[in-house]
A and B are shown apart, each in its own frame.
Chain A
Amino acid sequence: MTDPLHQFEIHVIAPLFSIFGVQFNFTNAALFMLVIVAIICALLYAAFANPELVPSRLQSVGEVWYEFVHNMVRQVMGEDGMKFFPLVFSIFSFVLVANMLGMFPYFFTVTSHVIITAALAVFVILLVITVGIMRHGLGWFRLFAPHGVPIAILPFISAIEVISFLSRPVSLGLRLFGNMLAGHIVLKVFAGFVVSLSALGITGIFGAIFPLGMAVGLTALEFLVAFLQAFVFAILTCVYLNDALHPGH
């Protein structure tokens, strides 16, 4: 029970089928991803089902949500990046609701699994490469040869640029994964301190107030991190897509 990694276990809810010896299962991760999508759809549908000029509370939440991502995409990518707004909005909403849903006790945090965040990050980078080559052809590869660099050190600069580009999907996926995993482990460890201290008798119960207060504070911090990581994931998606649209900068 006190194992802090117990919360990240994946359970098979229903075995589905197997192709070429690979078994496909319906797991709790898949269930929570469906719940996340259902929550996003239900919230946005309820917010904009009966739009009014003076918005109700739910409608203004939906408007703030929409305008936040809208401004972010416009600021980073400019007017011609607005066609990627639905993608960025979907990624932001998915990560945000996944992180927030993970804050409920006994709920499964989808984004604390590296396979899910890595899939999102690799998808973003493949999209950047595809869009860049479709928009600019082979000229897109000038991204790796910045302007005004002396020809003598250009090979080294290009090598560094290529390495930094290739490390983007790794860092994009691992950042979200690491933040959510580490935060939830820390919360569980402090909760474990409370349990094991209060088992020591009356002095232990008074001593357990300190880790309990720490756990409360960390929970508040985790809500901040949950939002911040969704924001960071979305804005880095915008920054990377901007490289595909305007490679000159």
Chain B
Amino acid sequence: MEADAAKLIGAGIACIGMGGAGVGVGIIFGNYLVGALRNPSAAPAQFTNALIGAALAEGLGIFSLVIALLLLFT
């Protein structure tokens, strides 16, 4: 029973890592927007790069979600 409780607590702690992914995605899109407002004509060409960066940052947050799911369901 205590092992189960520790697993649940661990799953909750693992989800804190998702916050880091949120910060990362926010920084990427925020800086993209800053750059886009300074030089709007260059913005469309870089939108794809912004999306790739956001996807890469988000993927690391997904790892912590997967750890939480592994703790809950194994």
> A residues engaging B (CB < 8 A)?
72, 75, 171-172, 174-175, 177-179, 181-182, 228, 231-232, 235-236, 239
Contact = CB atoms under 8 A, between A and B. Distances in A.
B52 A179 contact: no
Contacts of B69: 181
A177 B51 CA distance: 18
Closest 10 CB pairs of A and B: A178-B62, A171-B59, A232-B55, A175-B59, A178-B65, A174-B62, A175-B62, A174-B66, A182-B65, A178-B66
B59 to A, nearest CB: 4
B70 to A, nearest CB: 11
Given A232-B55, A236-B55, A171 B48 contact: no
B52 A235 contact: yes
B4 to A, nearest CB: 17
Most chain B CB within 10 A, of A75, A177, A178, is at A178
B32 interface: no
Contacts of B48: 72, 75, 235
Given A175-B59, A232-B52, A235-B48, 16 more contacts: A171-B59, A171-B60, A171-B62, A171-B63, A172-B59, A174-B62, A175-B58, A175-B62, A177-B66, A178-B66, A179-B58, A182-B62, A232-B55, A235-B52, A236-B52, A236-B55
Contacts of A172: 59
A184 B60 CA distance: 20
B73 to A, nearest CB: 8
Contacts of A239: 52
A231 B65 CA distance: 22
Interface of B: 48, 51-52, 55-56, 58-60, 62-63, 65-66, 69
A235 B62 contact: no
Contacts of A72: 48
B26 to A, nearest CB: 16
Nearest to B56: A171
Contacts of A228: 51
A176 to B, nearest CB: 9
A178 B69 CA distance: 10
Nearest to B51: A232
A75 B44 CA distance: 13
B53 to A, nearest CB: 11
A245 B69 CA distance: 37
Contacts of A181: 69
Nearest to B62: A178
